[in-house]
Structure 1
Amino acid sequence: MFTVTFVLHEKPGTDRAEALRYWRETHGPIAAKVPGVRRYVQQHAVGAPEGDPPFLGVASLSFDDQDAFAAAGQSAEFAAAVADVDNFADPALVTAFTEDVVIVG
């Protein structure tokens, strides 16, 4: 499995609760249409030890392999998902290829 992870930051002037709702209810179905996606997880930041979370959340999309991700990245559906980010979050996405290392579970 090949996973790409995005850290999303709040868009200035956007209500946090509304941004999280939009991400879940509107953006989620858009991103779910990206071809080749085997798993799509949103992790919404709802708190932090020091008060407000330092980011909106994290999204991870998993594909069979890097070639499947590369093909997906060329699709209209991927372009639509990336373009939609500006509707609820800062479009400057922090992105990394990640690997799950399960310690428990």
Structure 2
Amino acid sequence: MAKRLNNESSIGDVLKVIIQDNKLQAGIDQVSVKEAWVSLMGNGVNSYTKNVVLKGNTLYVELTSAVLREELSYGKDKIIKMINEEFRRDLVKEVVLR
């Protein structure tokens, strides 16, 4: 049964309940991680980024440049740390560059 909130609940509390009850967090994270990739990586990397998908705790990034893919592969731990700091929780545990 749905949790009943009183009339003095904040909008943030109401939204948290709606997201939790409807299991929307995974979908919100998928959209948010794309936005985070764009803002954290900058125009140089984004011009070679074809697709960014979050499945579970793994971030799949499709790149059009083999050289950039190799360069980013050395900094996977830093990418994971930057994204997790952006979300203030451990959202990404692994990065796969394609």
TM-score (norm 2): 0.41
* Bigger RCO of structures 1 and 2 (CA < 8 A, at least 6 apart): 1
Larger strand percent: 1
TM-score (norm 1): 0.39
Which structure's CA Rg is the greater one?
2
Larger helix percent: 2
